[in-house]
Amino acid sequence: MTTNDSAGGAGRVQVHKGGGIGVLGLGAYIPDKVVSNFDLEKLVDTTDEWIVQRTGIRERRVVEEGETVVSIAKKAAELALADAGISGGDVGLVIVATATPDYFTPAAASLVQHAIGARACAAFDLNAGCSGSLYALIMARAYIESGACDYALVIGAEILTRAVDWDDRKTCILFGDAAGAAVVGRVGQGRGFLSSMLRSDGEGASMITIPAYHINEEDLGRRGGVKKPTVWLEGRKVMKFASRAMSASVEGVAAAAGLGVGDVRLVVPHQANLRIIENASKRLGLAEDRVFVNIHKYGNTSAASILVSLHEAEAAGMVKDGDHVALVAFGAGLTYGAALMRM
Ligand code: UT7
């Protein structure tokens, strides 16, 4: 069942009537190594004060040399499987959401599948920028509803610190490494995902890029002729887009589920910039204690962000049985969207 999207177009806000499919277990892997803003002061022309004021970030985590997207994804996945009380052999779908894969091919998901002992199941990577794990959760929900399997493993894993230019103060201060994982499966009636919307606005595709084999002249010009496969973004423009897109998405999924924003106990937003989160919260009229924030500890971990956050929110007792929780994200594409769940 669907309702019309106020933004128009072919996409709809989807109503998952009666729920019934949701998150059964969560896990996260956070690398041990901490890099503070003060450490970055020694690398580029920046200050702790500037970074805290403009982004809310105080420190981020960085993987060790031998760690890979697959190795950190596996660690988060194993914790999520244990939390759900199932084993790798029960999993019928593995999706790894990442914009920083170890290999373009094979998919990280196939390697994770093997590493956790899942067999004869579907596995693929998904790139929707920082919205990747939100997209993956909703794809997994639909796959389970179709009857193709009982359990799906959704992982957001990123090693952004290998994709940033450590000489570029505009981007290197923003990102960190992490992996988050969720087991999606059947939950009780009236629980789980109640509504969702996934969107892409490709008109803004040039605002956040990491090039691969081809790079057009326009993009090369923007990057000052530098072809390095590093993150480049037009931060100001993204900020404007993001707070609007996030607030509209939360309103959209709440309305589709027959609820007001006031009924949502906790919003778990993608952690890109504290100012974006605060602007979106203000538009939604949400008090501080209704919006989860951990950007000060980890920076922007892209596709890992909302799964790590949901895991931490649950571990901190901020999410109780029966609560309505909204996940909301935006990222390269420009992608954005939200999902409303009842725990
Ligand atoms: O998750 C999706 C990907 N994430 C994003 O797309 C990030 C979204 N955007 C943002 O978070 C913000 O736009 C930033 C944090 C990236 C930048 O904040 P801003 O308030 O938009 O700053 P700005 O880019 O307009 O730069 C303001 C000034 C500039 O100097 P001038 O031109 O005013 O002299 C920059 O050169 O701050 C300067 N600046 C810095 N100064 C000290 C930029 N980076 C730094 C830095 N330290 N690290």
Pocket test for ligand 1, best of 231, 236, 296 (most atoms within 8 A of CB): 236
Pocket test for ligand 1, best of 57, 127, 170, 231 (most atoms within 8 A of CB): 170
Q: CA 14 to CA 255: how far, in whole Å? A: 11
pLDDT at 4 over 60: no
Residue whose CA lies nearest to ligand 1 atom number 10: 235
pLDDT at 136 over 50: yes
**Confidence label for 11 from pLDDT (cuts 50, 70 and 90):** confident
Taking the whole predicted model, whether its pTM rises above 0.85 is answered as yes
Tell me whether residue 114 is one of the annotated catalytic residues. no
- pLDDT for 5 equals 52
- pLDDT for 226 equals 82
Which of 7-21, 167-181, 262-276 is predicted with the least confidence, judged by mean pLDDT? 7-21
Cβ-Cβ contacts under 8 Å for 245 (sequence gap 6 or more): 199, 201, 330, 334, 336
Q: Which amino acid appears at position 170 of this protein?
A: K
Q: Which residue has the higher pLDDT, 37 or 7?
A: 37
* pLDDT tens-digit series, residues 173-228: 999 999 999 999 999 999 999 999 999 999 999 999 999 999 999 999 988 888 88
Tell me, in angstroms, the distance from the centre of ligand 1 to residue 207's CA.
Answer: 13
Residue whose CA lies nearest to ligand 1 atom number 1: 272
Tell me whether residue 16 is one of the annotated catalytic residues. no
* DSSP 8-state assignment for residue 106: S
For 188, half-sphere exposure in the C-beta direction (CA atoms, 13 angstrom radius) is 5
The count of other CB atoms within 10 Å of the CB of residue 102 is 16
- pLDDT for 47 equals 98
Of ligand 1's atoms, which has the minimum distance to the CA of residue 300?
1
* pLDDT tens-digit series, residues 70-120: 999 999 999 999 999 999 999 999 999 999 999 999 999 999 999 999 999
Show the tokens assigned to 20. 């019934």
Q: CA 137 to CA 197: how far, in whole Å? A: 11
Tell me whether residue 37 is one of the annotated catalytic residues. no
- pLDDT for 7 equals 53
175 beta partners? 300
- Percent of the chain residues topping a pLDDT of 70: 97
pLDDT at 3 over 50: no
> Shortest CA distance to 97 belongs to which of 240, 314, 308?
308
**Confidence label for 8 from pLDDT (cuts 50, 70 and 90):** low
- pLDDT for 62 equals 98
Number of residues written out for the chain: 343
Backbone φ and ψ of 211, nearest 5°: -70, 155
pLDDT at 230 over 60: yes
Residue with tokens 């109780």: 320
